[in-house]
Amino acid sequence: MKDKKVGSVLKTETKVIAIVVICLVITVMGISYALFFEVKGNEKNQIVKAGTLEFTYANGSQITNVTNSDCFIPMSNEEALTHSECEYKISITNTGTLPGNYNINLNSESIENPLALNKLKVILKKEGQVVSNYPKEGTTTSLVENEKIEAGKVINYSVQVYVDKELITSDDDEKNISIKINGDAIVNGEDINPDGSILATDFITALSKKDATNLMVDDTSDANIRYVGAKVNNYIDIGDKDSDGNPILWRVIGVMNNITNLDNGGRQESLVKIIRAESIGAYSWDSSLTEINMGWGINEWSEADVMKLLNPQEVYSGTPVVGGSLYWNRENGNCYNYQNEAYMLCDFTNSGLSEKTKEKIAKVRWNTGTAGELYNASKTTARYLYDGERSTNNGKEQCESAGGDYCNDDVERTTTWDGYIGLMYPSDYGYAVGGEVRSSCLGKSVALYNNENCNSNDWLFTGDDTWTISPVQQDIYSDNVYYIHSNGYITGYYSETSKIKEIIPVAYLKSTTKILPNSKTDQEYGNKDNPLVLQ
């Protein structure tokens, strides 16, 4: 990109032709973006974003006369301070939720017949007050070093360049002034990585700004970003491999907001939610002895057999004889697969979680409430289920109050659970529908998703019976759990907890997890053959 001439200055004692290049360079995902533009009034603001920071070069009324010869006549510092019309404005805005840092540096431009950088002077003002002069003592060309900006704040600067009249000689006649202002972003308190990686939440959020078809904000109070539609490029390689050395792929459900991150002191954060691309097998959600709920199991996630299978010992009490932490530890053993605590052999030595992958998974607070009025098809929409999952309704109180025949367990019901690996919510399935039918499908019960092509436009539909994490309220039973039927609708109407269904693990990535840039520029990033890759 060629430098743009700003203006020329008529000779007084010495003529200096001025070319001032004010630009911003930010490194994001391994690519340098430079903005060059003329210094003159009546132009629109130029904005470039890096992570959560915005650097804005604002052309305002104070610089409309920047091409005036007075701006580049060799002068002293005292004289330069009287020429406010020659100032060029820069605003730095932190649009994110975390603090960031930034630098502003001065570099010379390589152009024909330039004026030596040491003959220029630069005045930098912050909120109208002089904070930096160039040159300083020593050789540094930094105007601002590692300055912090809090979330939601704006910091205004102005830059003024002039020629030091004490240093101009006759040899400088017809020479050019060349200068560049560089702004380097340090986002969320971390230097942007040389490998170009970016926080996973920022990566998916940025994609949603470009792809409004396959990434959409849901209508919940949390305004989550979700992948929607039948075919979406949301495959992700989290680092694990199978026995043949092939990556075990997961898929991104989206960016979920207001998640209680227990790894970060219980702060409410936005985290990327992922689901394994394939089932790890078909097993019972829970099973019980014959005398407890007729052996059909208990619909309390914090005590469920499948929860213990997926998670480390630290999140549950006791040491199960069957299935305890086998998937979490990449081990083999027995897993429950029928009523009355029947079990079968299971092996996760090539499909479980590696130690490296465990380090990327956040411990969070999961909502394990449920939606009431199961039989009211006009209410069990994705939004209704989402709100129910976050309610204090549990899977037993309705049966107890109705005097049901099959709720004789003494397990305490909870509506939150702290852990690592869960299953999808019924609402996750409901909100994953896309295409032309999305609006219509979101307005109906998920129990009717086998109609109007809702299931065929939903990437979470696998064609197999698949468990969710949420219990069902019923008058007779306290063992029911929502699952996605092989026909594409969600049900829990019948006591099906004893019959084995597919287990597809779900997790949240830690807030510090980063995604690498696309290594195959000729292929769309995120498809099955070119999945997103974690750092």
Q: What are the sequence ranges of the domains in the chain?
A: 16-191, 198-276+512-533
pLDDT at 415 over 50: yes
Average pLDDT, integer, range 506-514 = 95
* Enclosing H/E stretch for 383: helix 382-389
* 492 within 8 A of 482, measured Cβ to Cβ: yes
Question: What proportion of the chain, given as a percentage, has pLDDT over 90?
Answer: 46
Question: What digits encode the pLDDT tens for the residues 258-306?
Answer: 999 999 889 899 999 999 999 999 999 999 999 998 888 999 999 999 9
Q: What local confidence, expressed as pLDDT, does residue 383 receive?
A: 95
Q: What local confidence, expressed as pLDDT, does residue 130 receive?
A: 83
The residue to which tokens 């979920």 are assigned: 256
Average pLDDT, integer, range 322-339 = 94
Dihedral in degrees, nearest 10, Cα atoms 247, 249, 255, 259: -90
Q: Tell how strand 342-347 and strand 332-338 pair up.
A: antiparallel
Question: What digits encode the pLDDT tens for the residues 337-375?
Answer: 988 889 999 999 999 999 999 999 999 999 999 986 665
φ and ψ at residue 123, rounded to 5 degrees = -110, 125
CA distances (Å), 514 to each of 187, 248, 277, in order?
Answer: 13, 18, 20
Q: What local confidence, expressed as pLDDT, does residue 484 receive?
A: 95
pLDDT at 470 over 90: yes
Average pLDDT, integer, range 519-535 = 89
* 89 within 8 A of 22, measured Cβ to Cβ: no
The DSSP line for 386-449 is HHHHTSS--SSHHHHHHT-SB----PPP-SEEEES-B---HHHHHHTB-GGGHHHHHTS-GGGT
* 362 within 8 A of 422, measured Cβ to Cβ: no
Q: Which amino acid is at 275?
A: I
Global pTM value:
0.67
Q: How many CA atoms lie within 13 A of 80 on its CB side?
A: 23
Q: What angle do CA 378, 379, 384 make, to 5 degrees?
A: 150
Of 478, 483, 443, 446, whose CA–CA distance to 464 is shortest? 483
* 151 within 8 A of 94, measured Cβ to Cβ: yes
